Each structure stands twice: as C-alpha cells, then as structure tokens.
Structure 1
Amino acid sequence: MNDFVNDGVDETGWDVEPGDEIEPVVQAMGRLIKVCRESAGMRVPELAEVMGYGEDMIRKIERGTRIPRPEFLDRADQVLNAQGHLRAFMEEMRKARYPKKVRELAEMEGRAVEMLLYSNHNIHGLLQTQEYMAALYEVRQPPLPKAVVEREVAARAARKSVFDREPAPVLSFVQEQVTLERPIGGRMVLRRQLEHLLKVGGLPNVSLQVMPTDQEEHAGMDGRIQVLKFADGTAIGRSDGAFNGRPVSNPRDLRLLELRYGMIRAQALTPRESLAFIERALGRL
C-alpha cells in the first residue's frame, strides 16, 4: 500500500471518527498497549520519551481515541517486548487510518468486476498520481491542514490497489478534455499525470476515453457517473445529477445510469483516439 511522504505535521496517527465501526478495534489495541506498558514496568512519561511522542498522545492511543501509525506499533512492540502482539494490529491500523467513507468505497471497488466511471471536473481518483492528488487538495479553499491533505492522499492512493487485483476488473473511464489540460500543481505535475494516463490506458483491462470539449452532443451534462458491478449480479451507481446524488442499486435506476454512460462513451473519442489525444497534449507541455 502506498503512503504519501510524511511532512512532519502528524507523525502519530489520526483521531477515531465517532461511531466508526473500527472504534472497538482501536480501543482494544489501546488497552493492549497499556497492558504491555504496565507489564514492562514503564510509566506513560517513560514510554513517551522512548517513543519520541508526547505523553498526551500516548494516553490518547491507550484510550483508543487516537489511531497510531503502523510504524508506531512496530516500535512499541520492540520497546515493550510485546512479542508480536502489537505488530498483529498493524494491518488493521493501516486500514483504520483512512476515513470511513474511503474504506467503504475501497471495499466496493475491491469487489467490483466492472466499473463505469465518467469524470467531468477532475481526473478520476483511480487515475491520479500522488502528486496530482496532493495538488488537488492543496488548492482547496479554505486551505486544508497539511495533516488532512496527507491523510486524504494516502487514502486515495491506497484505492489504486484495484489495478493489482487478479482477476483484473474491467475498467472504463471517460474523462472530459479539460481535466487533461488544467495544470493543477504546475506543468510538470500535469506532464507526469498524462504520462501515467498513457501507461494505465494501455492496460488490457482498461478503456480510457476523452470527451472533446467541442463535442456538440453530450449525454453527461448532469455530471459525474459511477457504476460498480459485482460478481453476484448486483451493482451500485451514482450520478451528480440523478436521484439527488444518492447511491442507487435497483435495476431500473441502474439501467438509466448505464444508458447515459453508454451514450457518453459513444460520443467520446475511441480509446485509440484518446491515447493519441493524450500524447499530443503531452507534447505541448
């Protein structure tokens, strides 16, 4: 799983979201840290000094209100001679680091056998490089705290594991032309982003298409569309301009989204034409 480089703003983790189903796991892990610390004959100030963190942060972790980084657990396991009991939580804490909504989306993307994804404002998250992701968050207004940017980028980057799945899902992307031309983060960031699109667009399970700005007929004027289909025949879809933006799963609503997406694909450049378009755009940078 890829992590965004830490900038020193937040080295210990993130607070648990109230009501998150991961909360009991974080609390259990915190109690275990406390038991291991007491068994090692260490007080909170002593552990904080050895770990290089504040006493208040150690207490939050032990209370289960703070999600520690996996690196923290690895170090604490060694310091407290926990014999691997703390390291056993590393993968769960790695997942817990990401917001609940992101974990839920990643879970659905991990099960999907086919995805239909139309993006009209930004390059789709699954196609973004990490520096492009960071640039998108950094231009938000009012500005986001650096720790929040780091967390969001790491969460979005983790979803890209969908490209490593076996068997690979069928992925169809349609991108508005403007998303490939707006230099978010600067020309070099955009250049590396376009190079990445060429690489992903060449994968056998990926169809990447561009919707030209001068296209007179356009079925995607209601905004983004995403449809995820699963192996059991069920699916879930969402569109900015349909059903009040709520996710839908009944066949009638899904059929509407699929029909609209099919029209968008037919109106866009073909995958081969689209890759050639991206190459030309790259040449102009």
Structure 2
Amino acid sequence: MSVDGVGTEQVGGGADEPGWDVDPDDESGVAVVAAVGRQIRAWREAAGMRACEFGAAIGYGEDLVRKVEGGRRIPRPEFLDRSDEVLGAGGKIAAMKRDVAQVRYPKKVRDLASVEARAVELAAYVAHGLHGLLQTPGHARALFEARQPPYSQDEVERMVAGRMARQAIFDRTPSPALSFVQEESALRRPIGGTLEWRRQLERLLEIGKLRNVILQVMPTHREAHPGMDGDIDVLKFKDGSAVGRSHGAFNGRRVTDAKQLRILELRYGVIRAEALTTRETLTLIEQVLGET
C-alpha cells in the first residue's frame, strides 16, 4: 500500500512526504484532518519551534508541515510518530493515527471497506475484469491509469492503496466465507503487461487455495447465464441482515429487502452452478499461467 515516490518535493533541505490532499467534499475527512493539524500546530508552538525548524527536525519540508497543520494534507503514520517524538507529546500525537487512518482513503472506498469488514459471508460475480478483492497492486494501478479522463498519479496511488487495504478481509479472524465467480476472459487479458499478468494469476491461485474462499471461473464457451447483464454482490452479516447489489437489477441500487435479496441469490446460485468447480478453476488458472 505504499505510495513512496509519488508527489514528493524538496523544500528547505527536507523531503516532503508522499501523501494525499484532503478531498474538500469529504466532510468527515476534512474535520478529522483539520483537528489533527490544529493539534500538531499547538504542540509545535508550545515547543517554541518555527515550521521550518520543526520540518527539519522530523525530516520533512516546511511546505508539507504547513499543509498538514492547515488541514490540507493527510499525514502519514510516520509523520505523526516523528512529530510526537520531536515535540515530546508523550504519545498524544501518535494516538491520532487511528483517527487519520479512518479517513485516509476516499469516502466511497471507506464505506465499501466498512461493509466488507462486517460481512460474515460475501458472494460476488463480476461480468468484466477481476473483483477488487482479488487484484494485485499492479493490476489495480494499470486499471486506474487507463481511465479517461485520466486521474492524477496522486489519485491513482490513493485508490490503489484503498483497494489493497480492503484485502485485509482475507486476514480476518474468524474468517468470513468468501465466494467469487469470474469470467474466463478476465484471466486472459494481460492487464499491466506480462509480468504483472503472471503476478495476478499467481495471486488468484494463492487466494483460490484459502480454506474460506470458493473461487470459480465461468468458461467463455458457456451460453447465456443470469449474470450477463451485470455484476452481483451479496453480503451477509452476523445479525442476520444482508445487503445486495447488481448492475442488472433494481436500477443498480443497494437492496436489503428479503424478496429482492432472494432474487440476487437465485441468480448467483445459477451462475455458480454453471461455472467451473474450484478444482477445475485452479487447473485452468495454472494452465493460463503456463501459457504466459
């Protein structure tokens, strides 16, 4: 999830930290980052340090210090740790890392990650490409860089980092039950070039062998199936509630109504039945990997 090398500057002999500007439309993010910035400035002024002196002491440029204090830049954990040490805050600044982490990624990514983090079951069919939870960083980066109109490199790296952060779902204990169905064409498109394509296929093999994951591929030669009109996602939670979404149903809206959820589950069940088994899927992925 590193963004090293992106957006760096040299100011007054200190290196500006690679980082992300605050999205002005993200109200919660703006409030958190502004509060953190005010706290850092208060500690700095109480220590009798000018911004340029403080920046030199923690290894960053004055420009970045002023952006963080002004609530315009999201500080990385290392910035907060160094600030706490230099200003003698006794852990009070470092403790703000948790608050900053909650607004580090774009709001829509945070919302999605929050829902996934609560799920005990996840079922997903993707009509085009690979599900975000299955992508390697290089694969995701190539997709974001291909968008038109183009994103800035800073935006690309922020979205890649957010997508990778969501993959913490694979490390959760207890493990959620995860089911994915991918179209065969997604395995054969060399997103990011041959080397990245191989990394992606190897990652799919790794994920597909996890005990709590069912990974299936829909062969290209299959005739029409219920997922032809768009992706399907269904997530179930510990309290028995669920949420679902499909591009081809209910105008693409998220649904929680039991009847609508049953429709999505029915469609997904048929898709799974027509897809390759897990063993057949892993064999196919190994075959494609051997051909690259």
8 Å CA contact 1:181, 1:281 repeated in 2:
yes
Q: Deviations over 1:122-171 (max 9, x none)?
A: 11111111111111112222332111111111111011110111111000
The answer to whether 1:254 aligns with 2:269 is no
8 Å CA contact 2:51, 2:62 repeated in 1:
yes
Counterpart selection for 1:47 from 54, 61, 65: 54
Which structure 2 residues correspond to residues 112-123 of structure 1 after superposition, within 5 A?
Answer: 112-123=119-130
SS in 2 for 1:61: helix
SS in 2 for 1:101: helix
Which structure 2 residues correspond to residues 1-285 of structure 1 after superposition, within 5 A?
Answer: 3-10=1-8, 11-285=18-292
Change (3 A) 1:79 1:98: same
Partner amino acid for 1:28? A
Deviation of 1:234 (Å): 0.6
Partner amino acid for 1:191? R
Q: Which residue of 1 aligns with 2:15?
A: none
Q: Which residue of 1 aligns with 2:14?
A: none
Mapped to 1, the partners of 2:41 and 2:137 lie a distance apart of 36
Mapped to 2, the partners of 1:65 and 1:14 lie a distance apart of 6
Mapped to 2, the partners of 1:273 and 1:112 lie a distance apart of 27
How many equivalent residue pairs? 283
Change (3 A) 1:13 1:78: farther
SS in 1 for 2:196: helix
Deviation of 1:94 (Å): 2.5
Deviation of 1:36 (Å): 0.4
Mapped to 1, the partners of 2:230 and 2:47 lie a distance apart of 57
Deviation of 1:62 (Å): 1.8
Q: Deviations over 1:211-230 (max 9, x none)?
A: 11110131111111111100
SS in 2 for 1:96: coil
Deviation of 1:275 (Å): 1.0
Q: Deviations over 1:178-218 (max 9, x none)?
A: 11100011111111111111111111111000011110131
RMSD: 1.6
Mapped to 2, the partners of 1:57 and 1:16 lie a distance apart of 16
Q: Which runs of 5+ in 2 are unaligned?
A: 9-17
Mapped to 1, the partners of 2:204 and 2:153 lie a distance apart of 27
TM-score, structure 1 normalization: 0.94
8 Å CA contact 1:109, 1:228 repeated in 2:
yes
Mapped to 2, the partners of 1:19 and 1:203 lie a distance apart of 36
8 Å CA contact 2:58, 2:83 repeated in 1:
yes
TM-score, structure 2 normalization: 0.91
How high is the sequence identity, in percent, across the aligned residues? 55
Deviation of 1:248 (Å): 0.9
Partner amino acid for 2:110? R
Partner amino acid for 2:87? L
Mapped to 2, the partners of 1:134 and 1:85 lie a distance apart of 35
Q: Which runs of 5+ in 1 are unaligned?
A: none
